[in-house]
Amino acid sequence: MLNTLRNAHRPPYAPAIFWGDLRAGITLSASYIPTAMALGYISGMGPLAGLWCGVFVGIIAALCGGTRALVSGPSAALAVVTATLVAGNDFTLPELCVVIVMAGAVQIALGLVGVGRFVSYVPHIVLTGFMSGIGVLLLWTQIQKLLDLGMSDLLVAGCGVALLAAWPARVGKYLPPALAVIAIGWLMSRFIPGVDPLGPVPTGLPTPVLEAPSLEFLAKAVGPAVIVALISSVYSLMWALTADTLTGSQHNPNRELFGLGLGNVAAGIVGVLPGSANIATMTSRRFGGKTVVAGIICQVIVAGLILGLAGYVAPLPLAALSAIVMLVGWQLIDFSFLSKIRGVDVHHSTVMLVTMGMTIFIDPLFAILFGVIAANVVNAAQLEALELDSVISTPLLDALFSVDADDYEARIGLLAFRGTFTVSSSLKLIQSISRDIRDHEVVIFDLSDTTHVDDSSAHMLALLLDRAKQTNTEIVACGVTDRIRRTLYAFGVLDRIPHDRLVETQKDARELAWALL
């Protein structure tokens, strides 16, 4: 089990790399602080919950994770999901903390059992629809809040959005635009009356708020915890792949989930936002960061600032934070995919758009569940067609076996199964092949080119054998490999075939079939 957590060999950490990480970490902290505060604000847990999330999740995931250059902390998707849990399910803070701890435990378990790479197999269309829906949701909710606040806040937010859009990339390397928006928003609030401030925020280290849950609540919390774990894991492993392309290294998905899970368990214990890898990974790289040390330095600086930050945070305008959230939302919308959606397969585009719509109008948690199921149904339909094409049903003319036989009579049939057979094609196979079995006196099942049979397709084969028995059709099987044999025995398939009807080659099967006639 522990082998799944071992990282591949990494290049040595040279002094030049450290100085690059140090510069990047210091600069990154300037852009990280306003964004983390904004995400904590929209989550309903407060600005400091976003900041402390980076400190706990970011540092623990960096130290225990499996990616060379990845920055973890609060993310827009988890902030919205957390807000949904607070508003939609009426979770108290201690109950929400239980959900976060359970989500972290799920991630730890996934890493320990070695299924990390499979977690990232959530279909891209589902992730695109979900994240684009989160982006639209962020834009709409912030516009609604600004309209409720008043014209002064609209002016501050409008200037902030314009500043974010027009901020030169060259200047952004030295002065992050999010920090500039906060500073200019604060200056505007000094001269424009009626701008709503953030207000007092608590100071000091976070204290444990976790309480022992009841069994009734644990059953209620399982679903949300799995969803939080899934979103955090998929989003993080997506950024891990991006980090690999930047560094030329290869991440360990199991160790990454293990480290991320430890971080989220810690976040839940102290009552802060759950975290994942985020776009700060790219920001760190742009500032010259080479490894996770840049993220650790950033979070250490943040932790040092938080303790004395409250007095300076309280007068910051809410509208400036809303402008930053709106930029995050805009960046989450996959405009590239949406612009090409007419050329995408209609089934995939429908899944994407419906997932996006459900995220916006119904519930983000339900949307991703629906999206995964719908995408698997679409993929199963396409896989069904491929698997059905891999089955060859051929009548064998009696003239092949004997010169005295009728040239046009075919009392023996051959069913050759090639490749993989799963639940996708099992039902259609039994419907189409049953007719072929009924039309022959002997049928040869050739499994020599079969590479995989799942439980549903094994059950299908058992039903086919039962149909053959009902029509008095003899069955001969050949080419059953040891791997396939174990599955077929487990589901009682080979128990339905007499031992002397199991042969090695198709040639042996043909001779035995003719002898049975």
Residue 94 near residue 280, CB atoms below 8 Å? no
User: Structural domain of residue 68, as residue ranges?
Assistant: 14-88+95-333
DSSP 5: G
Whether residues 177 and 273 share a domain: the answer is yes
Residue 368 in any domain: the answer is: no
Whether residue 17 is predicted with pLDDT greater than 60 in this model: the reply is: yes
Closest alpha carbon to 395 in 408, 404, 382: 408
Count the neighbouring beta carbons within 10 Å of the beta carbon of residue 367: 23
Of 316, 333, 350, which one is at a domain's C-terminal end?
A: 333
478 phi, psi to nearest 5 deg: -140, 160
Whether residues 253 and 144 share a domain: the answer is yes
234, amino acid identity: V
Whether residue 432 is predicted with pLDDT greater than 70 in this model: the reply is: no
Among 251-265, 351-365, 404-418, 480-494, the minimum mean pLDDT is found in: 404-418
Residue 369 in any domain: the answer is: no
Residue partners of 435: CB distance under 8 A and separation at least 6 = none
Residue 340 in any domain: the answer is: no
In this prediction, residue 516 carries a pLDDT of 85
Strand arrangement of the beta sheet that strand 474-478 belongs to: 391-396, 412-421, 442-453, 474-478, 502-503
Residue 443 to residues 252, 283, 397, 411, Cα–Cα distance (Å): 48, 64, 12, 9
317 phi, psi to nearest 5 deg: -75, 135
Whether residues 404 and 507 share a domain: the answer is yes
Residue 326 near residue 65, CB atoms below 8 Å? no
Whether residues 308 and 407 share a domain: the answer is no
Confidence of residue 395 (pLDDT cuts 50, 70, 90): confident
In this prediction, residue 240 carries a pLDDT of 85
228, amino acid identity: V
Residue 360 in any domain: the answer is: no
How confident is the prediction for the chain on average, in pLDDT? 82
In this prediction, residue 401 carries a pLDDT of 58
The DSSP annotation for 412-467 comes to EEEEEEEEEE-HHHHHHHHHHHHHHHHT-SEEEEEEEEEEEE-HHHHHHHHHHHHH
Whether residues 140 and 228 share a domain: the answer is yes
Q: What is the pTM of this model?
A: 0.72
Whether residues 449 and 305 share a domain: the answer is no
Whether residue 428 is predicted with pLDDT greater than 70 in this model: the reply is: no
CA angle 415, 416, 421 (to 5 degrees): 105
Among 98-102, 175-179, 407-411, 495-499, the minimum mean pLDDT is found in: 407-411
Token representation of residue 341: 């959606």
In this prediction, residue 397 carries a pLDDT of 60
Whether residues 322 and 394 share a domain: the answer is no
As a whole number of angstroms, the longest Cα–Cα distance in the chain is 107
CATH (domain of 406): 3.30.750.24
In this prediction, residue 279 carries a pLDDT of 84
Residue 325 in any domain: the answer is: yes
Confidence of residue 409 (pLDDT cuts 50, 70, 90): low
Average of per-residue pLDDT across 125-152: 86
Whether residues 30 and 142 share a domain: the answer is yes
Whether residues 118 and 252 share a domain: the answer is yes
Count the neighbouring beta carbons within 10 Å of the beta carbon of residue 493: 25
Whether residues 222 and 133 share a domain: the answer is yes
Average of per-residue pLDDT across 328-357: 85
Q: Which residues pair with 417 in a beta bridge?
A: 391
Residue 384 in any domain: the answer is: no
Which percentage of the chain shows pLDDT scores above 70? Answer: 85
Whether residue 299 is predicted with pLDDT greater than 70 in this model: the reply is: yes
Residue 219 in any domain: the answer is: yes
Whether residue 88 is predicted with pLDDT greater than 70 in this model: the reply is: no
Among 121-125, 148-152, 496-500, the minimum mean pLDDT is found in: 121-125
Residue positions counted in the chain: 517
Whether residues 105 and 205 share a domain: the answer is yes
* Cα gap 51→72, rounded to integer Å: 11
Whether residue 433 is predicted with pLDDT greater than 60 in this model: the reply is: yes
The DSSP annotation for 200-221 comes to ----SS------PPPHHHHHHH
Confidence of residue 454 (pLDDT cuts 50, 70, 90): confident
* Cα gap 367→349, rounded to integer Å: 15
Residue with tokens 């040239």: 407
In this prediction, residue 266 carries a pLDDT of 94
In this prediction, residue 173 carries a pLDDT of 73
Of 300, 333, 366, which one is at a domain's C-terminal end?
A: 333
Confidence of residue 74 (pLDDT cuts 50, 70, 90): very high
Residue 73 in any domain: the answer is: yes
Q: Count structural domains, the chain.
A: 2
Average of per-residue pLDDT across 43-54: 89
283 vs 159: which has the higher pLDDT: 159
Would residue 90 be called left, alpha or beta, if left means φ above 0 and alpha means ψ between -120 and 50 degrees?
left
